[in-house]
Structure 1
Amino acid sequence: MTGRRIASIFLPHFAMERWQRVMERQGSAPPDDVPVVLVVDGAHGQAIYAANRAARVMGVTQGARVVDMRAICPTLRVEYADVAGDKFALDRLSLWARRWCPWTVTDGAGGLILDTTGCDHLFDGEGAMLIDMETRLSLLGLTSHLAIAPNWGAAWALARYGPVRAICGEAELAQQLAPLSVAALRLDADTMLLLRRLGLKTIGQLAEVPRLSLTRRFVRAALGANPLMRLDQAMGRLAEPVASVDARPPIRAQMRLPEPILDPTAYLPTLCEDVCMQLEGKGLGCRRLHLTVYRTDGEVRRLEVATAAASRDAPHLCRLFDDKLDRIDPGFGFDLITLEAGLVEQMDNVQTRLDGRSDEGVALPQLIDRLTARLGAGAVKRPVLQASHVPERVEHWVGAMGAATLTTDTPVLPPKDRPIRIFQTPEEVRVLYVVPEGPPAQFIWRRQTHRVARYAGPERIAPEWWCDRPNTRLRDYFKVEDQAGRRLWLYREGLHEDGRGGDPRWFVHGMFA
Structure 2
Amino acid sequence: MQAQTPTPKLQDRRILAIWCARLSVDRWQQSLGSETGEIGGEGAPTVLISETAHGPRVEAANDAGIEAGARVGMMLADMRTLCPHIQTAPADPAGDLAFLEELALWAQRWGPWSALDPPDGVLVDITAAAHLFGGERRLLGDVEAAFAQRKLRVRSAIAPTAGAAWALAHFGTHLGPQRAMLGPRDDAIRVLGDLPVAALRLDADVLTVLRRLGLKRLSDVADIAGNISGPTEAAARDALQRRFRNRRSPSANPLIRLDQLLGRVPEPLLPVIARHAPMVQRRLMEPIRHRSLLDQVLADLTVDMARELEGKGDGARRLELGMWRVDGQVIVRRLELAAATRDPQHMTRLFTEKLDHIEAGFGIEIIRLRASWTEPLGMGQRDVEQAAERHGTSLAACIDRLSVRLGSQAVRRPVSRASHLPERAQDWRPPLEPHPVSQNILEMRERPLKLLDKPERIAVLYASPDGYPQRFRWRGNVHEVARVEGPERIAPEWWRVRSTVRLRDYYRIEDAEGRRYWIYRHGLSGDGRGGLPDWFLQGLSA
**TM-score, scaled to structure 1:** 0.56
Identify which of 176, 179, 183 aligns with 1:171.
179
Is 1:459 aligned to residue 459 of structure 2? Answer: no
Residue 479 of structure 1: aligned partner: 508
Matches within 5 A, 1:288-327: 288-296=318-326, 300-325=330-355
Is 1:490 aligned to residue 527 of structure 2? Answer: no
Distance in 2 separating the partners of 1:170 and 1:154: 19
Identify which of 152, 160, 166 aligns with 1:153.
160
Residue 337 of structure 1: aligned partner: 367
Identify which of 449, 452, 469 aligns with 1:420.
449
Residue 34 of structure 1: aligned partner: none
Deviation at 1:312, TM superposition (A): 1.8
Deviation at 1:113, TM superposition (A): 3.1
Matches within 5 A, 1:358-369: 358=388, 360-361=391-392, 363-369=394-400
Distance in 1 separating the partners of 2:519 and 2:333: 50
Q: Is the 8 A contact 1:94 1:106 kept in 2?
A: no
Distance in 1 separating the partners of 2:149 and 2:432: 38
Residue 503 of structure 1: aligned partner: 532
Query: Cα gap change, 1:512/1:324 in structure 2, threshold over 3 Å: closer, same or farther?
Result: same
Matches within 5 A, 1:206-217: none
Distance in 2 separating the partners of 1:450 and 1:261: 67
State the one-letter code of the partner of 1:268.
L
Distance in 2 separating the partners of 1:352 and 1:495: 62
Is 1:259 aligned to residue 286 of structure 2? Answer: yes
Q: Which has the higher contact order (CA 8 A, sep 6+)?
A: 1
Query: Cα gap change, 1:386/1:117 in structure 2, threshold over 3 Å: closer, same or farther?
Result: farther
State the one-letter code of the partner of 1:370.
R
**TM-score, scaled to structure 2:** 0.53
Deviations 1:373-410 (A, max 9, x none): 34445555554544432222333456x4997988xx95
Residue 29 of structure 2: aligned partner: none
Partner SS for 1:306:
strand
Residue 16 of structure 2: aligned partner: 6
Q: Is the 8 A contact 1:158 1:177 kept in 2?
A: no
Distance in 2 separating the partners of 1:321 and 1:384: 30
Query: Cα gap change, 1:260/1:493 in structure 2, threshold over 3 Å: closer, same or farther?
Result: same
Where does structure 2 lack aligned partners over 5 or more consecutive residues? 1-13, 21-97, 127-142, 183-189, 201-221, 234-258, 264-270
Identify which of 358, 363, 370 aligns with 2:401.
370
Q: Is the 8 A contact 1:150 1:170 kept in 2?
A: no
Deviations 1:264-323 (A, max 9, x none): 222112211221232233321111112223444565443322223322232222233234
Query: Cα gap change, 1:258/1:122 in structure 2, threshold over 3 Å: closer, same or farther?
Result: same
Distance in 2 separating the partners of 1:393 and 1:347: 34
> What is the number of equivalent residue pairs in this alignment?
355
Residue 425 of structure 2: aligned partner: 394
Identify which of 276, 282, 291 aligns with 2:306.
276
Percent identity, aligned pairs only, is 37
Q: Is the 8 A contact 2:417 2:439 kept in 1?
A: no
Identify which of 148, 166, 173 aligns with 1:121.
148
State the one-letter code of the partner of 1:120.
F
State the one-letter code of the partner of 2:147.
D
Distance in 2 separating the partners of 1:164 and 1:404: 45
Query: Cα gap change, 1:291/1:413 in structure 2, threshold over 3 Å: closer, same or farther?
Result: farther
Distance in 2 separating the partners of 1:326 and 1:356: 26
Where does structure 1 lack aligned partners over 5 or more consecutive residues? 11-91, 128-147, 185-191, 202-226, 232-243
Residue 479 of structure 2: aligned partner: 450
Deviation at 1:488, TM superposition (A): 1.6
Distance in 2 separating the partners of 1:479 and 1:106: 62
State the one-letter code of the partner of 2:280.
A
Distance in 1 separating the partners of 2:532 and 2:519: 16
Query: Cα gap change, 1:495/1:295 in structure 2, threshold over 3 Å: closer, same or farther?
Result: closer
State the one-letter code of the partner of 1:391.
P
Q: Is the 8 A contact 1:384 1:395 kept in 2?
A: yes
Q: Is the 8 A contact 2:105 2:273 kept in 1?
A: no
Is 1:439 aligned to residue 449 of structure 2? Answer: no
Residue 214 of structure 1: aligned partner: none
Partner SS for 1:320:
helix
Matches within 5 A, 1:10-409: 96-98=102-104, 101=107, 103=109, 105-107=113-115, 113-114=123-124, 116=143, 118-127=145-154, 148-151=155-158, 153=160, 155-159=162-166, 170-174=178-182, 177-178=192-193, 247-262=274-289, 263=291, 264-296=294-326, 300-325=330-355, 328-350=358-380, 358=388, 360-361=391-392, 363-377=394-408, 383=414, 385-397=416-428, 400=430
State the one-letter code of the partner of 2:422.
P
Query: Cα gap change, 1:178/1:437 in structure 2, threshold over 3 Å: closer, same or farther?
Result: closer
Q: CA RMSD in A?
A: 4.7
| 266-275 or 308-317, which deviates more | 308-317
Deviation at 1:342, TM superposition (A): 1.5
Deviation at 1:121, TM superposition (A): 0.9
